[in-house]
Structure 1
Protein backbone atom coordinates (compact mmCIF):
# COMPACT_ATOMS: atom_id res chain seq x y z
CA UNK A 1 0.00 0.00 0.00
CA UNK A 2 1.15 3.55 -0.71
CA UNK A 3 1.46 6.16 2.03
CA UNK A 4 -1.76 7.95 1.04
CA UNK A 5 -3.76 4.75 0.89
CA UNK A 6 -2.32 3.66 4.25
CA UNK A 7 -3.56 6.92 5.74
CA UNK A 8 -6.98 6.23 4.23
CA UNK A 9 -7.02 2.81 5.90
CA UNK A 10 -6.15 4.39 9.26
CA UNK A 11 -8.93 6.95 8.86
CA UNK A 12 -11.31 4.17 7.83
CA UNK A 13 -10.65 2.07 10.94
CA UNK A 14 -10.78 5.13 13.19
CA UNK A 15 -14.17 6.19 11.85
CA UNK A 16 -15.43 2.62 11.88
CA UNK A 17 -14.47 2.15 15.52
CA UNK A 18 -15.88 5.49 16.66
CA UNK A 19 -19.12 4.96 14.76
CA UNK A 20 -19.51 1.47 16.26
CA UNK A 21 -19.13 2.87 19.77
CA UNK A 22 -21.55 5.75 19.20
CA UNK A 23 -24.09 3.56 17.40
CA UNK A 24 -23.91 0.96 20.17
CA UNK A 25 -24.52 3.49 22.95
CA UNK A 26 -27.39 5.15 21.10
CA UNK A 27 -28.81 1.74 20.18
CA UNK A 28 -28.76 0.55 23.79
CA UNK A 29 -30.57 3.71 24.91
CA UNK A 30 -33.15 3.57 22.11
CA UNK A 31 -33.79 -0.19 22.12
CA UNK A 32 -36.51 -0.23 24.83
CA UNK A 33 -38.62 2.12 22.72
CA UNK A 34 -38.26 0.31 19.38
CA UNK A 35 -39.95 -2.76 17.95
CA UNK A 36 -37.57 -5.48 16.78
CA UNK A 37 -37.84 -4.55 13.05
CA UNK A 38 -37.18 -0.88 13.84
CA UNK A 39 -34.37 -1.81 16.23
CA UNK A 40 -32.76 -4.04 13.62
CA UNK A 41 -32.92 -1.32 10.96
CA UNK A 42 -31.55 1.37 13.26
CA UNK A 43 -28.76 -0.63 14.86
CA UNK A 44 -27.74 -3.09 12.19
CA UNK A 45 -28.90 -2.00 8.75
CA UNK A 46 -27.98 1.66 9.01
CA UNK A 47 -24.60 1.05 10.62
CA UNK A 48 -23.65 -1.82 8.29
CA UNK A 49 -24.61 0.31 5.28
CA UNK A 50 -22.48 3.10 6.73
CA UNK A 51 -19.55 0.68 7.06
CA UNK A 52 -19.92 -0.53 3.46
CA UNK A 53 -20.21 3.03 2.13
CA UNK A 54 -17.24 4.13 4.23
CA UNK A 55 -15.19 1.39 2.59
CA UNK A 56 -16.46 2.44 -0.82
CA UNK A 57 -15.57 6.12 -0.57
CA UNK A 58 -12.38 5.90 1.50
CA UNK A 59 -10.87 2.67 0.18
CA UNK A 60 -12.51 2.17 -3.20
CA UNK A 61 -14.27 -1.03 -2.13
CA UNK A 62 -17.12 -1.11 -4.63
CA UNK A 63 -19.43 -4.08 -5.13
CA UNK A 64 -21.90 -5.60 -7.55
CA UNK A 65 -24.52 -8.26 -6.92
CA UNK A 66 -25.54 -11.01 -9.32
CA UNK A 67 -28.46 -13.37 -8.76
CA UNK A 68 -30.71 -11.08 -6.72
CA UNK A 69 -33.62 -12.59 -8.61
CA UNK A 70 -32.90 -15.89 -6.82
CA UNK A 71 -33.86 -14.50 -3.41
CA UNK A 72 -37.07 -16.28 -2.32
CA UNK A 73 -40.06 -14.45 -0.91
CA UNK A 74 -39.95 -16.53 2.26
CA UNK A 75 -37.15 -16.42 4.79
CA UNK A 76 -34.68 -19.30 4.62
CA UNK A 77 -31.18 -20.40 5.62
CA UNK A 78 -28.31 -18.54 3.96
CA UNK A 79 -25.06 -20.47 3.51
CA UNK A 80 -22.36 -17.92 2.69
CA UNK A 81 -18.65 -18.13 1.97
CA UNK A 82 -16.55 -16.54 4.70
CA UNK A 83 -13.34 -14.80 3.60
CA UNK A 84 -13.45 -11.35 5.08
CA UNK A 85 -15.17 -8.95 7.47
CA UNK A 86 -16.80 -7.12 4.57
CA UNK A 87 -19.45 -9.76 3.83
CA UNK A 88 -20.61 -9.67 7.45
CA UNK A 89 -21.45 -5.98 7.07
CA UNK A 90 -22.94 -6.37 3.60
CA UNK A 91 -25.17 -9.38 4.25
CA UNK A 92 -26.49 -7.97 7.53
CA UNK A 93 -27.83 -4.96 5.66
CA UNK A 94 -28.88 -6.72 2.45
CA UNK A 95 -31.07 -9.33 4.14
CA UNK A 96 -33.30 -8.01 6.88
CA UNK A 97 -34.09 -8.90 9.52
CA UNK A 98 -31.25 -11.39 9.72
CA UNK A 99 -30.16 -13.61 12.58
CA UNK A 100 -26.49 -14.47 12.42
CA UNK A 101 -24.75 -17.47 13.93
CA UNK A 102 -21.80 -16.29 16.02
CA UNK A 103 -19.59 -17.18 18.98
CA UNK A 104 -21.28 -16.42 22.28
CA UNK A 105 -18.08 -14.74 23.50
CA UNK A 106 -18.76 -11.84 21.13
CA UNK A 107 -21.82 -10.86 23.15
CA UNK A 108 -19.58 -10.11 26.13
CA UNK A 109 -17.70 -7.33 24.34
CA UNK A 110 -18.70 -4.06 26.08
CA UNK A 111 -21.25 -1.97 24.18
CA UNK A 112 -20.73 -3.67 20.79
CA UNK A 113 -21.59 -7.16 22.06
CA UNK A 114 -24.40 -5.87 24.26
CA UNK A 115 -25.93 -4.20 21.22
CA UNK A 116 -25.56 -7.34 19.11
CA UNK A 117 -27.51 -9.24 21.75
CA UNK A 118 -30.52 -7.03 20.95
CA UNK A 119 -30.61 -8.30 17.35
CA UNK A 120 -31.64 -11.91 18.01
CA UNK A 121 -28.34 -13.58 17.06
CA UNK A 122 -27.79 -17.30 17.40
CA UNK A 123 -24.92 -17.37 19.89
CA UNK A 124 -23.21 -20.75 20.13
CA UNK A 125 -20.76 -22.29 22.58
CA UNK A 126 -18.22 -23.70 20.14
CA UNK A 127 -16.21 -25.35 22.90
CA UNK A 128 -18.94 -28.01 22.95
CA UNK A 129 -19.73 -28.97 19.32
CA UNK A 130 -22.62 -31.31 20.15
CA UNK A 131 -24.29 -28.70 22.33
CA UNK A 132 -23.66 -26.06 19.65
CA UNK A 133 -25.53 -28.15 17.06
CA UNK A 134 -28.49 -28.49 19.42
CA UNK A 135 -28.47 -24.75 20.05
CA UNK A 136 -28.36 -24.05 16.32
CA UNK A 137 -31.30 -26.37 15.68
CA UNK A 138 -33.43 -24.89 18.47
CA UNK A 139 -32.60 -21.20 18.10
CA UNK A 140 -32.44 -21.39 14.32
CA UNK A 141 -35.95 -22.82 14.13
CA UNK A 142 -37.17 -20.06 16.46
CA UNK A 143 -35.64 -17.33 14.31
CA UNK A 144 -37.13 -18.75 11.12
CA UNK A 145 -40.55 -18.86 12.81
CA UNK A 146 -40.00 -15.21 13.78
CA UNK A 147 -39.59 -14.40 10.06
CA UNK A 148 -35.83 -13.82 10.20
CA UNK A 149 -33.28 -14.89 7.66
CA UNK A 150 -30.69 -17.13 9.27
CA UNK A 151 -27.11 -16.49 8.14
CA UNK A 152 -24.60 -19.28 8.59
CA UNK A 153 -20.98 -19.33 7.52
CA UNK A 154 -20.69 -23.13 7.22
CA UNK A 155 -16.89 -23.08 7.19
CA UNK A 156 -17.07 -21.79 10.77
CA UNK A 157 -14.31 -19.22 10.32
CA UNK A 158 -12.81 -16.93 7.71
CA UNK A 159 -10.81 -18.96 5.19
CA UNK A 160 -8.05 -17.26 3.14
CA UNK A 161 -8.49 -16.55 -0.56
CA UNK A 162 -7.70 -19.56 -2.71
CA UNK A 163 -9.02 -22.04 -0.18
CA UNK A 164 -12.40 -23.33 0.95
CA UNK A 165 -13.16 -25.05 4.23
CA UNK A 166 -15.37 -28.04 4.90
CA UNK A 167 -19.05 -27.12 5.27
CA UNK A 168 -20.67 -27.98 8.58
CA UNK A 169 -24.02 -29.72 8.08
CA UNK A 170 -25.78 -27.61 10.73
CA UNK A 171 -27.22 -25.13 8.24
CA UNK A 172 -28.47 -27.81 5.87
CA UNK A 173 -29.99 -29.72 8.78
CA UNK A 174 -31.79 -26.59 9.97
CA UNK A 175 -33.24 -26.03 6.49
CA UNK A 176 -34.33 -29.65 6.04
CA UNK A 177 -36.00 -29.81 9.46
CA UNK A 178 -37.83 -26.54 8.76
CA UNK A 179 -38.80 -27.72 5.25
CA UNK A 180 -37.12 -24.64 3.78
CA UNK A 181 -34.40 -24.19 1.16
CA UNK A 182 -30.85 -23.00 1.59
CA UNK A 183 -29.62 -19.98 -0.33
CA UNK A 184 -25.90 -20.27 -1.19
CA UNK A 185 -23.81 -17.12 -1.58
CA UNK A 186 -20.30 -16.78 -2.98
CA UNK A 187 -18.08 -13.70 -3.23
CA UNK A 188 -14.48 -12.58 -3.57
CA UNK A 189 -14.34 -9.97 -0.77
CA UNK A 190 -11.18 -11.55 0.62
CA UNK A 191 -9.27 -10.45 -2.47
CA UNK A 192 -9.78 -6.83 -1.44
CA UNK A 193 -10.26 -7.08 2.33
CA UNK A 194 -8.01 -9.99 3.42
CA UNK A 195 -8.53 -12.08 6.52
CA UNK A 196 -5.18 -11.13 8.01
CA UNK A 197 -3.78 -7.67 8.64
CA UNK A 198 -5.02 -4.17 7.95
CA UNK A 199 -4.15 -4.18 4.26
CA UNK A 200 -6.86 -3.37 1.73
CA UNK A 201 -7.04 -3.24 -2.05
CA UNK A 202 -9.39 -1.08 -4.10
CA UNK A 203 -11.63 -2.88 -6.57
CA UNK A 204 -15.05 -4.34 -7.22
CA UNK A 205 -16.27 -7.10 -4.92
CA UNK A 206 -18.51 -9.60 -6.70
CA UNK A 207 -21.34 -11.12 -4.68
CA UNK A 208 -23.18 -13.99 -6.35
CA UNK A 209 -26.48 -15.22 -4.92
CA UNK A 210 -27.14 -18.76 -6.02
CA UNK A 211 -30.37 -20.62 -6.71
CA UNK A 212 -32.44 -21.82 -3.78
CA UNK A 213 -31.72 -25.47 -3.04
CA UNK A 214 -34.21 -27.88 -1.50
CA UNK A 215 -33.42 -31.23 0.04
CA UNK A 216 -34.35 -34.32 -1.92
CA UNK A 217 -36.01 -36.32 0.81
CA UNK A 218 -35.57 -36.33 4.57
CA UNK A 219 -33.11 -37.51 7.18
CA UNK A 220 -29.31 -37.52 7.44
CA UNK A 221 -28.73 -38.59 3.84
CA UNK A 222 -30.85 -35.73 2.48
CA UNK A 223 -29.04 -33.28 4.77
CA UNK A 224 -25.62 -34.50 3.61
CA UNK A 225 -26.63 -34.31 -0.06
CA UNK A 226 -28.02 -30.78 0.28
CA UNK A 227 -24.94 -29.63 2.14
CA UNK A 228 -22.64 -31.11 -0.51
CA UNK A 229 -24.66 -29.52 -3.32
CA UNK A 230 -24.37 -26.10 -1.69
CA UNK A 231 -20.66 -26.64 -1.07
CA UNK A 232 -19.97 -27.57 -4.69
CA UNK A 233 -21.94 -24.58 -6.02
CA UNK A 234 -20.06 -22.18 -3.74
CA UNK A 235 -16.71 -23.78 -4.63
CA UNK A 236 -17.37 -23.57 -8.38
CA UNK A 237 -18.51 -19.97 -8.14
CA UNK A 238 -15.49 -19.06 -6.00
CA UNK A 239 -13.28 -20.58 -8.70
CA UNK A 240 -15.06 -18.59 -11.41
CA UNK A 241 -14.53 -15.41 -9.38
CA UNK A 242 -10.82 -16.13 -9.07
CA UNK A 243 -11.10 -16.67 -5.32
CA UNK A 244 -10.40 -20.43 -5.30
CA UNK A 245 -7.20 -22.04 -6.56
CA UNK A 246 -7.49 -24.21 -9.65
CA UNK A 247 -5.90 -27.17 -7.87
CA UNK A 248 -8.39 -26.95 -4.99
CA UNK A 249 -11.28 -26.84 -7.47
CA UNK A 250 -9.95 -29.82 -9.43
CA UNK A 251 -9.68 -31.82 -6.20
CA UNK A 252 -13.28 -30.97 -5.30
CA UNK A 253 -14.49 -32.04 -8.75
CA UNK A 254 -12.53 -35.27 -8.57
CA UNK A 255 -13.97 -36.06 -5.15
CA UNK A 256 -17.51 -35.32 -6.36
CA UNK A 257 -17.06 -37.66 -9.33
CA UNK A 258 -16.31 -40.66 -7.12
Structure 2
Protein backbone atom coordinates (compact mmCIF):
# COMPACT_ATOMS: atom_id res chain seq x y z
CA UNK A 1 0.00 0.00 0.00
CA UNK A 2 1.05 3.56 -0.62
CA UNK A 3 1.66 5.81 2.42
CA UNK A 4 -1.56 7.67 1.62
CA UNK A 5 -3.59 4.46 1.56
CA UNK A 6 -2.00 3.33 4.83
CA UNK A 7 -3.21 6.53 6.47
CA UNK A 8 -6.68 6.19 4.89
CA UNK A 9 -6.94 2.61 6.15
CA UNK A 10 -5.87 3.54 9.68
CA UNK A 11 -8.40 6.36 9.77
CA UNK A 12 -11.07 3.99 8.49
CA UNK A 13 -10.43 1.48 11.27
CA UNK A 14 -10.30 4.22 13.88
CA UNK A 15 -13.69 5.60 12.80
CA UNK A 16 -15.23 2.14 12.42
CA UNK A 17 -14.13 0.94 15.85
CA UNK A 18 -15.14 4.21 17.51
CA UNK A 19 -18.57 4.09 15.90
CA UNK A 20 -19.12 0.48 16.98
CA UNK A 21 -18.22 1.37 20.57
CA UNK A 22 -20.61 4.33 20.68
CA UNK A 23 -23.33 2.51 18.76
CA UNK A 24 -23.30 -0.39 21.20
CA UNK A 25 -24.09 1.82 24.16
CA UNK A 26 -26.89 3.56 22.29
CA UNK A 27 -28.38 0.24 21.23
CA UNK A 28 -27.96 -1.27 24.69
CA UNK A 29 -30.28 1.41 26.01
CA UNK A 30 -32.91 1.38 23.26
CA UNK A 31 -32.85 -1.98 21.46
CA UNK A 32 -34.18 -4.27 24.25
CA UNK A 33 -37.53 -2.45 24.33
CA UNK A 34 -38.01 -2.25 20.54
CA UNK A 35 -39.80 -4.73 18.24
CA UNK A 36 -37.48 -7.04 16.28
CA UNK A 37 -37.75 -5.26 12.91
CA UNK A 38 -37.20 -1.82 14.44
CA UNK A 39 -34.37 -3.20 16.54
CA UNK A 40 -32.73 -4.64 13.42
CA UNK A 41 -32.91 -1.31 11.63
CA UNK A 42 -31.36 0.46 14.61
CA UNK A 43 -28.74 -2.07 15.66
CA UNK A 44 -27.65 -3.47 12.30
CA UNK A 45 -28.92 -1.73 9.20
CA UNK A 46 -27.99 1.82 10.14
CA UNK A 47 -24.53 0.90 11.43
CA UNK A 48 -23.75 -1.38 8.47
CA UNK A 49 -24.69 1.42 6.09
CA UNK A 50 -22.29 3.62 8.02
CA UNK A 51 -19.57 0.97 7.68
CA UNK A 52 -19.94 0.68 3.89
CA UNK A 53 -20.07 4.48 3.65
CA UNK A 54 -16.85 4.82 5.63
CA UNK A 55 -15.22 2.17 3.44
CA UNK A 56 -16.20 4.19 0.37
CA UNK A 57 -15.37 7.69 1.59
CA UNK A 58 -12.32 6.98 3.72
CA UNK A 59 -10.76 3.80 2.27
CA UNK A 60 -11.88 4.38 -1.32
CA UNK A 61 -13.85 1.12 -1.64
CA UNK A 62 -16.86 1.81 -3.85
CA UNK A 63 -19.34 -0.75 -5.12
CA UNK A 64 -21.57 -1.45 -8.09
CA UNK A 65 -24.60 -3.70 -7.75
CA UNK A 66 -26.37 -5.53 -10.55
CA UNK A 67 -29.52 -7.63 -10.35
CA UNK A 68 -31.46 -5.75 -7.69
CA UNK A 69 -34.59 -6.52 -9.69
CA UNK A 70 -34.03 -10.23 -8.94
CA UNK A 71 -34.71 -9.81 -5.23
CA UNK A 72 -38.07 -11.48 -4.48
CA UNK A 73 -40.71 -9.71 -2.44
CA UNK A 74 -40.84 -12.54 0.12
CA UNK A 75 -37.78 -13.25 2.28
CA UNK A 76 -35.89 -16.40 1.35
CA UNK A 77 -32.46 -18.01 1.81
CA UNK A 78 -29.50 -16.01 0.48
CA UNK A 79 -26.48 -18.00 -0.72
CA UNK A 80 -23.61 -15.54 -1.00
CA UNK A 81 -19.96 -15.80 -1.95
CA UNK A 82 -17.72 -15.16 1.03
CA UNK A 83 -14.40 -13.37 0.55
CA UNK A 84 -14.23 -10.62 3.16
CA UNK A 85 -16.02 -8.72 5.90
CA UNK A 86 -17.37 -6.12 3.47
CA UNK A 87 -20.18 -8.31 2.10
CA UNK A 88 -21.40 -9.01 5.62
CA UNK A 89 -21.84 -5.27 6.15
CA UNK A 90 -23.40 -4.67 2.74
CA UNK A 91 -25.87 -7.56 2.74
CA UNK A 92 -26.92 -6.83 6.32
CA UNK A 93 -27.80 -3.30 5.23
CA UNK A 94 -29.54 -4.34 1.99
CA UNK A 95 -31.86 -7.03 3.39
CA UNK A 96 -33.96 -6.37 6.46
CA UNK A 97 -34.56 -7.96 8.76
CA UNK A 98 -31.81 -10.48 8.11
CA UNK A 99 -30.63 -13.37 10.24
CA UNK A 100 -27.24 -14.75 9.31
CA UNK A 101 -25.33 -17.86 10.19
CA UNK A 102 -22.37 -16.89 12.38
CA UNK A 103 -19.75 -18.62 14.46
CA UNK A 104 -20.94 -18.80 18.05
CA UNK A 105 -17.65 -17.24 19.17
CA UNK A 106 -18.50 -13.97 17.40
CA UNK A 107 -21.19 -13.25 19.97
CA UNK A 108 -18.48 -12.98 22.61
CA UNK A 109 -16.60 -10.19 20.78
CA UNK A 110 -16.92 -6.99 22.84
CA UNK A 111 -19.48 -4.50 21.55
CA UNK A 112 -19.83 -5.93 18.02
CA UNK A 113 -20.78 -9.42 19.17
CA UNK A 114 -22.96 -8.17 21.99
CA UNK A 115 -24.92 -6.00 19.57
CA UNK A 116 -25.19 -8.88 17.11
CA UNK A 117 -26.76 -11.06 19.79
CA UNK A 118 -29.69 -8.63 19.92
CA UNK A 119 -30.77 -9.32 16.33
CA UNK A 120 -31.37 -13.07 16.43
CA UNK A 121 -28.45 -14.56 14.48
CA UNK A 122 -28.13 -18.29 13.87
CA UNK A 123 -25.11 -18.98 16.05
CA UNK A 124 -23.49 -22.34 15.33
CA UNK A 125 -20.61 -24.37 16.73
CA UNK A 126 -18.38 -24.93 13.71
CA UNK A 127 -16.38 -27.57 15.57
CA UNK A 128 -19.48 -29.80 15.50
CA UNK A 129 -20.77 -29.86 11.88
CA UNK A 130 -23.65 -32.24 12.57
CA UNK A 131 -24.99 -30.09 15.41
CA UNK A 132 -24.44 -26.95 13.30
CA UNK A 133 -26.65 -28.31 10.50
CA UNK A 134 -29.40 -29.14 12.97
CA UNK A 135 -29.15 -25.65 14.45
CA UNK A 136 -29.36 -24.08 10.98
CA UNK A 137 -32.40 -26.19 10.07
CA UNK A 138 -34.27 -25.49 13.30
CA UNK A 139 -33.45 -21.82 13.90
CA UNK A 140 -33.38 -20.95 10.19
CA UNK A 141 -36.92 -22.26 9.73
CA UNK A 142 -38.07 -20.17 12.68
CA UNK A 143 -36.48 -17.02 11.26
CA UNK A 144 -38.08 -17.54 7.85
CA UNK A 145 -41.49 -17.97 9.46
CA UNK A 146 -40.88 -14.71 11.34
CA UNK A 147 -40.39 -12.94 8.00
CA UNK A 148 -36.61 -12.61 8.10
CA UNK A 149 -34.14 -13.24 5.31
CA UNK A 150 -31.58 -15.92 6.15
CA UNK A 151 -28.02 -15.30 4.94
CA UNK A 152 -25.85 -18.36 4.47
CA UNK A 153 -22.26 -18.40 3.26
CA UNK A 154 -22.32 -21.95 1.86
CA UNK A 155 -18.52 -22.15 1.55
CA UNK A 156 -18.39 -21.95 5.35
CA UNK A 157 -15.42 -19.59 5.47
CA UNK A 158 -13.86 -16.74 3.53
CA UNK A 159 -12.29 -17.97 0.29
CA UNK A 160 -9.72 -15.79 -1.55
CA UNK A 161 -10.58 -14.27 -4.95
CA UNK A 162 -10.17 -16.64 -7.86
CA UNK A 163 -11.10 -19.69 -5.78
CA UNK A 164 -14.38 -21.46 -5.03
CA UNK A 165 -15.06 -23.51 -1.94
CA UNK A 166 -17.45 -26.44 -1.87
CA UNK A 167 -21.06 -25.43 -1.13
CA UNK A 168 -22.60 -26.97 1.96
CA UNK A 169 -26.19 -28.11 1.39
CA UNK A 170 -27.46 -26.62 4.65
CA UNK A 171 -28.80 -23.45 3.03
CA UNK A 172 -30.51 -25.18 0.13
CA UNK A 173 -31.97 -27.81 2.47
CA UNK A 174 -33.43 -25.01 4.59
CA UNK A 175 -34.98 -23.37 1.50
CA UNK A 176 -36.40 -26.59 0.06
CA UNK A 177 -37.92 -27.67 3.37
CA UNK A 178 -39.52 -24.23 3.74
CA UNK A 179 -40.82 -24.23 0.17
CA UNK A 180 -38.79 -21.10 -0.65
CA UNK A 181 -36.15 -20.26 -3.27
CA UNK A 182 -32.49 -19.50 -2.80
CA UNK A 183 -31.01 -16.19 -3.97
CA UNK A 184 -27.40 -16.55 -5.21
CA UNK A 185 -24.99 -13.60 -4.90
CA UNK A 186 -21.50 -13.21 -6.36
CA UNK A 187 -18.93 -10.44 -5.80
CA UNK A 188 -15.22 -9.66 -5.69
CA UNK A 189 -14.97 -7.81 -2.38
CA UNK A 190 -11.87 -9.81 -1.43
CA UNK A 191 -9.84 -8.00 -4.08
CA UNK A 192 -10.20 -4.75 -2.15
CA UNK A 193 -10.84 -6.00 1.40
CA UNK A 194 -8.54 -9.08 1.67
CA UNK A 195 -9.21 -11.96 4.00
CA UNK A 196 -5.76 -11.75 5.55
CA UNK A 197 -4.21 -8.65 7.09
CA UNK A 198 -5.64 -5.20 7.58
CA UNK A 199 -4.79 -3.60 4.23
CA UNK A 200 -7.51 -2.05 2.03
CA UNK A 201 -7.23 -1.34 -1.70
CA UNK A 202 -9.28 1.43 -3.32
CA UNK A 203 -11.48 0.33 -6.20
CA UNK A 204 -15.01 -0.72 -7.13
CA UNK A 205 -16.51 -3.98 -5.85
CA UNK A 206 -18.78 -5.74 -8.31
CA UNK A 207 -21.84 -7.34 -6.70
CA UNK A 208 -24.16 -9.50 -8.80
CA UNK A 209 -27.51 -10.74 -7.49
CA UNK A 210 -28.76 -13.73 -9.47
CA UNK A 211 -32.28 -14.93 -10.18
CA UNK A 212 -34.17 -16.63 -7.36
CA UNK A 213 -33.86 -20.39 -7.83
CA UNK A 214 -36.57 -22.87 -6.89
CA UNK A 215 -36.10 -26.56 -6.26
CA UNK A 216 -37.49 -29.03 -8.76
CA UNK A 217 -39.26 -31.35 -6.36
CA UNK A 218 -38.57 -32.29 -2.76
CA UNK A 219 -36.18 -34.40 -0.76
CA UNK A 220 -32.40 -34.97 -0.86
CA UNK A 221 -32.21 -35.22 -4.65
CA UNK A 222 -33.93 -31.87 -5.14
CA UNK A 223 -31.70 -30.29 -2.48
CA UNK A 224 -28.54 -31.58 -4.16
CA UNK A 225 -29.69 -30.41 -7.62
CA UNK A 226 -30.57 -26.94 -6.37
CA UNK A 227 -27.28 -26.66 -4.50
CA UNK A 228 -25.34 -27.61 -7.64
CA UNK A 229 -27.33 -25.10 -9.69
CA UNK A 230 -26.60 -22.29 -7.23
CA UNK A 231 -22.91 -23.25 -7.09
CA UNK A 232 -22.64 -23.26 -10.88
CA UNK A 233 -24.32 -19.85 -11.17
CA UNK A 234 -22.05 -18.28 -8.55
CA UNK A 235 -18.97 -19.89 -10.15
CA UNK A 236 -19.85 -18.54 -13.58
CA UNK A 237 -20.66 -15.08 -12.21
CA UNK A 238 -17.37 -15.01 -10.30
CA UNK A 239 -15.48 -15.91 -13.47
CA UNK A 240 -17.25 -13.16 -15.41
CA UNK A 241 -16.48 -10.61 -12.71
CA UNK A 242 -12.80 -11.62 -12.72
CA UNK A 243 -12.47 -11.32 -16.50
CA UNK A 244 -14.62 -8.19 -16.81
CA UNK A 245 -17.00 -10.09 -19.09
CA UNK A 246 -20.12 -9.47 -17.00
CA UNK A 247 -23.00 -8.36 -19.22
CA UNK A 248 -25.95 -6.80 -17.38
CA UNK A 249 -28.35 -4.13 -18.53
CA UNK A 250 -27.41 -0.62 -17.36
CA UNK A 251 -30.83 -0.06 -15.78
CA UNK A 252 -30.19 -2.97 -13.41
CA UNK A 253 -27.22 -1.25 -11.81
CA UNK A 254 -26.80 0.74 -8.65
CA UNK A 255 -23.52 2.49 -8.02
CA UNK A 256 -22.38 3.94 -4.69
Q: Same fold (TM over 0.5)?
A: yes
Offset at 1:243? Answer: 7.6
Match of 1:251 in 2: none
Q: Secondary structure at the match of 1:59?
A: coil
Q: Secondary structure at the match of 1:215?
A: coil
Match of 2:89 in 1: 89
Which runs of 5 or more residues in structure 2 are unaligned?
Answer: 245-256
Show CA shifts across 1:119-163 (max 9, x none). Answer: 010001111111111110000000000000000000000001110
Structure 1 length-normalised TM:
0.93
Offset at 1:111? Answer: 2.5
Match of 2:146 in 1: 146
Q: Distance in 2 between matches of 1:234 and 1:108?
A: 32
Q: Secondary structure at the match of 2:135?
A: helix
Q: Tell whether the 8 Å contact from 1:188 to 1:243 is kept in structure 2 after alignment.
A: no
Offset at 1:105? Answer: 1.0
Match of 2:202 in 1: 202
Q: Tell whether the 8 Å contact from 2:31 to 2:42 is kept in structure 1 after alignment.
A: no
Offset at 1:110? Answer: 2.5
For these two proteins, the number of residue pairs brought into alignment is 244
**Relative contact order (C-alpha < 8 Å, sep 6+): which is higher?**
2
Structure 2 length-normalised TM:
0.93
Match of 1:21 in 2: 21
Q: Which moved more, 1:86-95 or 1:101-110?
A: 101-110
CA-atom RMSD in angstroms: 1.2
Offset at 1:32? Answer: 2.3
Q: Which moved more, 1:59-68 or 1:135-144?
A: 59-68
4+ residue stretches of structure 1 with deviation over 3 A? none
Q: Tell whether the 8 Å contact from 1:216 to 1:222 is kept in structure 2 after alignment.
A: yes
Q: Distance in 2 between matches of 1:123 and 1:36?
A: 17
Show CA shifts across 1:202-244 (max 9, x none). Answer: 1111110000101111111110000000000000000000089
Offset at 1:25? Answer: 1.6
Which runs of 5 or more residues in structure 1 are unaligned?
Answer: 245-258
Q: Secondary structure at the match of 1:151?
A: strand
